[in-house]
Chain A
Amino acid sequence: MRSRSKHVKLAEGLARQEQIAPAVEACYQALRVGEIDPLVYCLLAELMLSGDFYDEAIFAASRAIELDSGCSPAYLALGLAYDRRGGMWDQSILVWHELAEVAPELVTAHVQLGEAFAATAFEEEAIASWRRALELDPKEARAMYDLAIAALKREGMATALPGFRKAGELDPSQDALFFTLAGASGDGQPTPVLSEVAPERGSRLEAAYVLAHEEDLFSAAELVRLILDEDPDDAETLGLASYLYLKQEAVDEAMACALRALTLSTRTPTAVYCLGAAFAKRPGLSYHAARVFDALAKLVPSKPMPYVLLAESLLGLQRYRSAGESYRAAVNLDPACVRARFGLAAVLHTEGRHSEAEWEISRAAYHDTRRQKLFWVLYDDYAEGRA
């Protein structure tokens, strides 16, 4: 067992700050002074991967595994490098199998294994892997997206679309859109105590957003009620009320509040979003949902999620090409938007462009693991475990 040398720590620090070139140089410096350490190689693999140097990433990760077959971050980097390089699915399956062995509770390993199986047309094995991932974490959105794609391949879009929407609800980015539209991030703010919230509209609304963000829906609803008792024509508060009902699956109540809010002010983005989300839950209202999300996309053109929601409504209308354009707009705004990548993959499948679809899924996988900072989670666990 060994601790990290100063050379490794320097490379690691730079890599964490995404100073790619200096971090790579620091890794090579560590190797030059004889630090033949799996940590250096897996850092190098991660850095090469972020620069799209797949062969170099594969070499470095393989070297780390040669030095220590229990080096879990190296398996992650190696698997992602194989997937993104393409044409190496057999090796990919083996790597994700290994990672699932080394870290059996790691949900992503099962999701990735499923994606590698799917790419090699082992559909049954793929589905079993994604189901295993969902057993470990029922909120694993990517496994749900993958299952929706599998349903698309077998039974078409009508079966797949509810899966996409369900996955979308697990995906935190949709709720994040609501809070962004409200101008209330909710992150890092202390949980309000109802009795201590100042009895005026601004404080109540702010506290209600924080509570809603923390999914304390009933406390948030109490504050909403207090605001509406003083001003029932408060469109923004009605938008929040609509969101709270949506979160409780009360679609009609949500629709009623959103429609009322928009009667009062058509430019209430939170109400526009909630109305679209309520319409999207009714299969016959895809056209209405598309119209609303199109308006939302125009209202906030810099946000990717309205384009994703618009695209999903267009899928419901069988307007696959337009849906693809909308997904592409979302990906252009945020290349890390996993939901847009999977949606785009679905559209590409409907066009028979299966290899491009697989590429989009592998991009989604890469961004999803980065979003979770999975490499660093595994890296820290591994480094700590051997210290």
Chain B
Amino acid sequence: MGDDSAARLYQAFVSQDPAAAIAVIEGVRDSSSDKAKLFDSLFAPAMAMLGGAWAAGVIDEDTFTQASVVAEQVNSFVTPPATAHDTGITVLVGSMHRDVHSIDKNVIAAALREAGHRVIDLGVDVRPVDFFERAEETGARMVIVSAQMISTARAVSRIREVFEAQGRDDVIMLVSGGPFAADEGLARDVGANGVVRGAESALRLVERVARERFAGSER
């Protein structure tokens, strides 16, 4: 990056010229495409110059406001996106048949979606065959089943049975809910590949499964 690029960006702000500001950013982006770094090395110094010019009275209040509007207009060029890029991993999420508890499922689904995964939320009280059919429709190879009661947690084995009966041994089934958190043996008994203990755990497990099991194949 040229040493004067922050000064040129500052000048574009003060001149109220968004096109010039974008041109400066695009010129620098060629050598550094990381937006977070671009923010630190280009945008922040230019903004500091702007603050300094206002403090010194080099620019008046109106110019400061207008320059800030330009900064606002171009900040998406230097600010990392709020939502993650699409990972291409499809995950089916649902609460087990006869289980209407939704909070864990909702929180996990939202966290995965925010992390860029393709989440298909099947809702609550989902029959085992529906997990299979939606996996077939979407090509998903990962399922997260939430069950909050002992009876519904035990019944999760039926989902594994349906997948196996249809020759879909490749589907990774993760389970979440109090009964599984309390007894990991129960998760093994129902044929689960892992226990999700909340949103962050779901993110880690899904990423690990994708890395270890789906690497180089269709996800």
Contacts and interface: CB of A to CB of B under 8 A. Distances in A.
Query: A and B bound?
Result: yes
Interface of A: 152-159, 228-229, 232-234, 238, 241, 250-253, 255-263, 282-285, 287-288, 318-321, 349-354
Contacts of B17: none
Contacts of A228: 55-57
A288 B78 CA distance: 12
A352 B197 contact: yes
A240 B36 CA distance: 27
A288 B110 contact: no
Nearest to A152: B107
A295 to B, nearest CB: 14
A357 to B, nearest CB: 10
7 contacts: A155-B106, A157-B110, A252-B72, A252-B75, A253-B65, A261-B51, A321-B200
A261 B76 CA distance: 24
A153 B54 CA distance: 45
Contacts of A233: 55
A252 B55 contact: no
Contacts of B71: 252, 256
A158 B109 CA distance: 11
Given A152-B107, A287-B80, A252 B177 contact: no
Contacts of B102: 153-154
A319 B200 contact: yes
B47 A259 contact: yes
Contact of A253 (B48, B56, B68, B178): B68
A80 B170 CA distance: 52
B198 interface: yes
B51 A260 contact: yes
A279 to B, nearest CB: 10
Interface in B83-121: 83, 102-104, 106-107, 109-111, 113-115
Given A259-B44, A285-B79, A153 B56 contact: no
Contacts of B64: 253, 256
Interface residues of B, number: 50
B181 interface: yes
A284 B81 CA distance: 5
Interface in B201-219: 201, 203
A189 to B, nearest CB: 26
A153 to B, nearest CB: 5
B5 interface: no
B51 A156 contact: no
B39 A285 contact: yes
What 7 A-B pairs have minimum CB-CB distances, sorted nearest first? A156-B110, A260-B51, A283-B82, A351-B198, A256-B51, A252-B68, A259-B48
Contacts of A259: 44-45, 47-48, 51
Nearest to A278: B47
A283 B75 CA distance: 12
Given A252-B71, A282-B79, A287-B36, A156 B113 contact: yes
B20 interface: no
Nearest to B203: A318
Interface of B: 35-36, 39-40, 44-45, 47-52, 54-57, 64-65, 68-69, 71-72, 75-76, 79-83, 102-104, 106-107, 109-111, 113-115, 176-178, 181, 197-201, 203
B47 A255 contact: yes
Contacts of B177: 352
B156 to A, nearest CB: 16
Nearest to A316: B82
Contacts of B40: 288
Given A153-B106, A250-B68, A256-B48, A318 B114 contact: yes
A321 B107 CA distance: 14
Nearest to B49: A260
Contacts of B178: 352
Contacts of B76: 284
Contacts of A155: 106, 110
Contacts of B82: 283-284
Given A253-B68, A256-B50, A157 B104 contact: no
Nearest to A260: B51
A252 B80 CA distance: 16
A93 B134 CA distance: 41
Given A158-B114, A238-B55, A350 B199 contact: yes
Contacts of A157: 107, 110-111, 114, 199
B72 A284 contact: no
A252 B67 CA distance: 9
A296 B205 CA distance: 33
A282 B36 CA distance: 13
Contacts of B113: 156, 158
Contact of A241 (B39, B50, B55, B114): B55
Given A153-B103, A233-B55, A241-B55, A350 B39 contact: no
Given A157-B107, A256-B48, 9 more contacts: A241-B55, A251-B72, A260-B50, A261-B51, A288-B39, A318-B115, A319-B200, A351-B200, A352-B176
Contacts of A253: 54, 64-65, 68
